[in-house]
Amino acid sequence: MKTKYSFCILRYVHDPVTQEFANIGVALFSKEPRYLDALCALNYGRISRMFAKIDGYRFRQSTRYIQDRIHSIGQDISQGLPFEMEMRIETLLGAVLPPDDSSFQFSQPGSGVTDDLDTTLKELFHKFVDRYTYLMETARRDDEEVWRVYREPLEKRQLTFRLEPKRIVAPNYEYEFQHSWKNDVWHLYEPISFDLMEPTSIVDKANRWLGRATTLMESKEKFKIYALLGEPQERNLKTAFVKAQNILHKMPGNPEFIREKEAESFAEELSREIKSH
């Protein structure tokens, strides 16, 4: 059954005078069924190459907030909670990002019909945003898509609101983990997609994480990394993924590695830990 939808493109407007902009996200809405969700680019590498000077920390914080807030409103809508605002995409998105002359702006809405809203959202994101990102590490699924696999069982147990961003600062490097909580130490949950297009990209990404974890161990804060892995779906990339895992297991700090098939048991174990704490 075909479903009508409307969508808006999220743009980063670098200069309000010249109106130079880059597409960085897509939001999609359908009144029946009650659906609203968004995908935003969290990596600012392409934007910094286009416009040179950009506050990467603010960019990541802003795009993540916009994406998470839209997702939250979409959950409320899908559960049939009463909504005072008019059910149009412009109005719903205006509650997240009021139209003004800021750096982050939504386009005028487009429309279409589909039989799969989730797939259409991903296709629109690829069409308007993802295909313009750098080609060195083309992903079939990016880290955010892998996070969605783990996020669903966490949401069922009402755990996502317990997780918060945490920046680990070492003398020569710092990195912000988006999903974490603390008891005696910081528990840092990081989705890492190895569902990439090239074997060399898979191995290179593992090496980057080995270097990152090694450098962060110089931080004064106590923490433990939980790598939420996204496996490659192509059989010819399995060997590269085995090599990547061998590299990851050299990471210091006794990290844990969770596979997608373990998402439910991971969420259940985390629920027990948080409740006992």
For the chain, give the number of residues: 277
Region for 13 from its dihedrals, namely left if φ exceeds 0, alpha if ψ lies in -120 to 50, beta otherwise: beta
> 224-244 burial, b if ≥16 CB within 10 A, otherwise e?
ebbbbbbbbeeeebeebbeeb
- Taking alpha carbons only, the member of 180, 170, 258 closest to residue 216 is 170
pLDDT tens digit at each of 277 positions of the chain: 789 999 999 998 876 665 678 889 999 999 888 899 999 987 766 666 566 566 777 888 889 999 999 999 999 888 876 555 568 899 999 999 988 778 899 999 999 999 999 999 999 998 888 766 544 455 678 888 899 999 999 999 999 989 999 999 999 889 999 999 998 899 999 999 999 877 888 998 999 999 999 999 999 999 999 999 999 988 889 999 999 999 999 999 999 999 999 999 999 999 998 888 7
CA 66, CA 72: separation in Å to the nearest integer?
10
Instruction: Return the pLDDT at 135.
Output: 42
Local structure of residue 37 (DSSP, 8 states): E
Instruction: Return the pLDDT at 224.
Output: 96
Domains belonging to the chain, first-starting first, are 3-134 (no CATH), 145-276 (3.40.1350)
The structure tokens 């259409």 sit at 120
Instruction: Return the pLDDT at 197.
Output: 74
Contact 154, 162 (CB under 8 A): no
Instruction: Give, rounded to a whole angstrom, the gap between the first and last alpha carbons of the chain.
Output: 47
